[in-house]
Amino acid sequence: MLVALVAFAGGAGAVRADEVYVICNAAVSLQQGEIKDVFIGEKGFAGSTKLAPADNSAAQAEFLAKVLKLDASKYAGIWTKKSFRDGANPPPVKGSDAEALSYVKQTPGGCSYTNAAPPPGVSVVGKF
């Protein structure tokens, strides 16, 4: 899985959009300032809920640049180190806004991001 993230990270960003919406399952209470820690594996729980972030290949380049302030190689490097040091796996990669939205709705603790404004039924943690 890590190899897939590293290989994918280099080619991310074919789609360009003006905004990125960070979304979580409706049961998750998360602050905008906690987003980076969730996606780099430093925050694993929101209250008693185990967080389950997922990347979205359709919006990843914008998310990394606008939200995490990282490029794809730095993000992949963070997960490579976490994998060796902590045995942690990087977030799974969803292929589209629709897949990311479906994952968030169906997964307790699920968090991801989209380029399109999300419909009701999810918690919008931040708009960038």
Residue 46 phi/psi, 5° resolution?
Answer: -120, 100
pLDDT at site 3? 39
pLDDT of residue 17: 53
Domain ranges of the chain: 2-127
Give me the residues of the chain with pLDDT under 50, please. Answer: 1-16
Residue 116 has a pLDDT of 94
**Measured torsion, CA atoms of residues 11, 17, 22, 25, in degrees rounded to the nearest 10:** -90
Q: Which pTM was predicted? A: 0.85
What CATH class does 2-127 carry? Answer: alpha beta
